[in-house]
Structures are given as C-alpha cells and as structure tokens.
Amino acid sequence: MKIRELPAHQIHKLLVKKEISCQEIVSETFKVIDEKEKEVHAYISLYQEKSLRQAKSIDEKIKNGETILPLEGIPIGIKDNICICGEKTTCASKILENFISPYDATVIRRLKENGLIFIGKTNMDEFAFGSSTENSYFGPTHNPWDLERVPGGSSGGSAAAVAANETILALGSDTGGSIRQPAAFCGVVGLKPTYGRVSRFGLVAFASSLDQIGPIAKDVTDSALLLNVIAGYDPLDSTSVNKPTPDFTHALIPEVKGIKIGIPKEYFISGIEPEVGKNIKGAIKLLEEAKADIEEISLPHTEYGIATYYIVATAEASANLARFDGIRYGYRSKNSKTLTELYENSRAEGFGAESKRRIMLGTYVLSAGYYDAYYLKGQRARTLIKEDFDRAFEKVDAILTPISPSTAFKIGERIKDPLKMYLSDIFTISANLAGIPGISIPCGFSQQKLPVGLQILAPVFGEEKIFQIAFALEQKLK
Ligand code: GLN
C-alpha cells in the first residue's frame, strides 16, 4: 500500500519506528491535494504552511525520544461549520464567507491537545442543509470514485477528502445522516455518536436537538481512535452527557458470536436499488456464518421519519439562523435605508435557496396558528419513533440496515427536486430523532463500481457494540 493510502493507526506505527517523518506525511497529503483538488474540490480553506510547521515540531519530539499520542501528527480535515480560533468558518455560505471564529470548538481544543494536524476546512452543503454538497456557495464537491457524481452530503467535502487521500481523518456533523450518507457514497467509515457523547460547543447549530459531530475515517480502527479523542463531557454544552468515555479500541474484537442483530423489515422496501440490497444481504450472510443471531424486527413508525424530521429540523434551523441578521455576524447588505431593510436585504442576499426554504418551512411550522398541527405533532411522532427503537433494543443488541436506498447519484440529478433529495435520508434520520449512535461502513460495490454503505445502529451509548460488529464485518469484507 502507498503511504497516502494508509490509515492513521498504521502511520502511527511508522512514525514511532522512525520509518517515516511527520513532515513527509503532511507533504504527501498536500501533494495529493495538488493532484486532485481541482477535480474533487473537497476543501474550502487549506493550511499548508501551518501544518508543515506543526509537523516539524512533532518530528523534533520524536527525534528527542519523546512518546507521541496515538493520533499525534496525523492530518485531519475539519468540516467548515466547526470553529477553529482565528480561522474562517464559512458554513459554505455567502453570509459567513468572511467570518473568523473567535474561539475553538471543544472538539478542536481536544484535537489540538492530542497533536492532530489541521489540513484545512472541508466543503459542505450551506449550513449542512443537503444530501449532496451541491448547496455549497463555493460550488459542489465531486465524488472521487466518479467525478460526475455527488459525494453525498452534507459532509461531502470531509468524506471525499478521506476517500481521495487528501487527508487521513476528517470531522463531519450529522443532523439527519450527513456523516453516514457521504461516508457511504465515498466508501469510507463515518460515525454519528450518541446525542450528548460529543460536545457541540463551537459547531454552528443547524438543529440543536439532532446535531452531533463525528469521525470520518478510512477504517473502523481509525474511527474508534478519533472518537476516543473527541468524546467526553463538556460543561460548555448543556446537552453533553457527564459519563466516562471508554477506550473504544477495546471494542475492536473480530467476534460476533451470539450477538443479536435485528433486520428491520421496513428498511428493505421496493424502492431500494437491487445492487444495494444484494450487497447488504451478502453482509448479513457473513454475520450469520460468524454465528451472530440474525432476526427480523419491525420499526413500525419508520414511514413517518422523513416528515417528522423535516418539521423538527426546519423549526430548529429557522430559530438558529435568526442570529444571522447582518448586524452580529458576517455579510451585511450595502443597499438599505432602514433597519428592517438591512435585515431583509442582508438575509435575502446572504442566504442560498435551500437555507431560505428551511427558514420558511421552519417559521411556518412554528407559527401560532400551525404550532399544534405541525410542530407539536412532529414531536409526538418523534417520541413514537424513539419508542420503536426502545422496543427493538429489548430484543436485539444492534440493528443493521442500508445507509441509503441508492449509491451516489449524478450531480444535478436531484437538486431541482427537493422532495427527492430529502428522500435520500430515509434510512439515516431516525437515528438522529432517537438520539442513538450509527455507523456507516463500506460494504462492497455496485456494478458501476460505486461504493455501497451499510449501517449499524445501537442503543444510546452503545458505540462499543457498533465498533465490535463493524470491526468484525470489516475483516470479513476485506
Ligand atoms: N440531508 C439532511 C438534511 O438536509 C441531513 C443533513 C445533515 O445531517 N446535516 O437536512
């Protein structure tokens, strides 16, 4: 394997043995970026000089015989809705095009303490609204497996950067599937942790009751290592849960004997591409051969997932985006005579079409006359969806499903039809509504050589079970 293709845990070994230097790794990463970025467009900002300087000081440390932490010196790309102090955080929008973060997100502080090297900020759908990264103000990211196709979204830049070897690790954020679906489309590993496991402090909020930051990596081991670094209680995020973080690498046991895995019948519907179904069924067979207990289950309220999500998520988004008013942050329109005009023009000129759609939908479902009919009902449906999972997890340890009904679609194919785009998330959004963790791991290819993604879900704080099954399956699918 070439250096550029190696996962972090293997690079770490080479660094410790002094068979490679950190400067070589970072230079190699920027060489790949030079070669591929014009076509892939995974990044919004790049920090070449800073990262080379940091690599040099880590090399000094290694030379002096100091020990390094497991991910020290490893390049990482950061989704551009996570604040790094002194750097731009654009959320791929015009309204925040020149916004500079005045502080570090908690995950960034943790990455810094662990010596990871920031390569740059990755492209995304504006404010994380989307499933294809086509909603970026800076133009779309292209899928490295087929440049005419989308990388998924909204963390499409992060997933594409890892898949193209333009970084070794990346962070994404997942409100309804935005880590897992692009990971699936790009053939990499993406994890949405349990709600409350990772601090959201310094993540620009989309829907605060659904958002989680999580790792995007080349394999399951790297994903566990990165979660080790970013997880943990944070007093700065009132929804972060005060619970000790285990060492997730201890869960990486290639053994599934006796583990009960549920297959929800509602997820194997007629609209799913035959190639996706075939690959997922192949993986289920491998687990059966490894003596996992596979059992059909039912999540009866699955059909309400999309409708519920687009009520709850847009309601919260419309409230969260109210702060971008042309006064406090970012873009301010120059053509206004009154204060009201300033608000209106700044927002009209600063937000893209999808953001406006979400603000309008969200404001509508929260408005006095419609609150009970939509928002309240949405919250009730959310509880029913959560209870489906509670009941299922009384019987099984984990749930296995496809990530998306299709593989990566063509750029332009769904962007004019928002409803069709929203349906891409049908298998991922329920985990956010229920607050449970979920992973996407690569599970073979379609005939067109496009990656297929498999999802494993577990009860809240069940990441270890997820890692165990994912690791076992990864060994078998190799
Ligand atoms: N695609 C979903 C949406 O557009 C999910 C986005 C996300 O997880 N950030 O809302």
At 40-55, the pLDDT tens digits run: 999 999 999 999 999 9
Q: Kindly give the number of the ligand 1 atom that is closest to the alpha carbon of 207.
A: 9
CATH 3.90.1300.10 spans which residues of the chain? 1-300+383-478
| Distance (Å) from CA 231 to ligand 1 centroid | 22
Q: Distance between CA atoms of 393 and 390, rounded to whole angstroms?
A: 5
What pLDDT, in 10s, does the model give residues 308-363? 999 999 999 999 999 999 999 899 999 899 999 999 999 999 999 999 999 999 99
Residues 224 and 216: their CA atoms lie apart, in Å, by 10
| 2 Cβ contact partners less than 8 Å away, ≥ 6 residues apart | none
Ligand 1 atom, smallest distance to 354 CA? 4
Architecture of the domain spanning 1-300+383-478? Alpha-Beta Complex (3.90)
> Which residues touch 149 (CB under 8 Å, ≥6 apart)?
142, 143, 185, 408, 409, 410, 411, 450
pLDDT of res. 311: 97
Check if the beta carbon of residue 174 is closer than 8 Å to that of residue 131. Answer: no
Answer whether 225's CB lies under 8 Å from 189's CB: no
Ligand 1 atom closest to residue 131's alpha carbon, by position in its atom list: 1
Tens digits of residue pLDDT in 161-215:
999 999 999 999 999 999 999 999 999 999 999 999 999 999 999 999 999 999 9
pLDDT of 271:
82
Q: CB of 466 within 8 A of CB of 439?
A: yes
For residue 404, indicate whether it is catalytic.
Answer: no
Catalytic residue among 79, 192, 218, 465: 79
Q: Select from 79, 124, 126, 129 the residue to mutate for testing ligand 1; criterion: most ligand atoms less than 8 Å from CB.
A: 129
Low-confidence ranges of the chain (pLDDT < 50): none
Q: How far apart are CA 233 and CA 249, in angstroms?
A: 19
Structure tokens at 10: 């293997």
Looking at residue 334, the DSSP 8-state letter turns out to be S
**Which pTM was predicted?**
0.98
pLDDT digits (tens, 9 = 90+) for 435-447: 999 999 999 999 9
Residue 400: the pLDDT is 98
Q: In degrees, to the nearest 5, what angle opens at C-alpha 129 toward C-alphas 128 and 135?
A: 95
Q: Which of 178, 240, 355, 424 is catalytic?
A: 178
* pLDDT score for 424: 84
CB count within 10 Å of CB 290 equals 17
Cβ neighbors of 256 (< 8 A, separation 6 or more) are 287, 290, 291, 292, 468, 469, 472, 473
* Residue ranges lining ligand 1, Cβ < 6 Å: 128-131, 154, 174-178, 206, 313, 425
User: Which pLDDT does position 298 carry in this prediction?
Assistant: 97
pLDDT score at 448: 95
CA of 129 to the centre of ligand 1 (A): 5
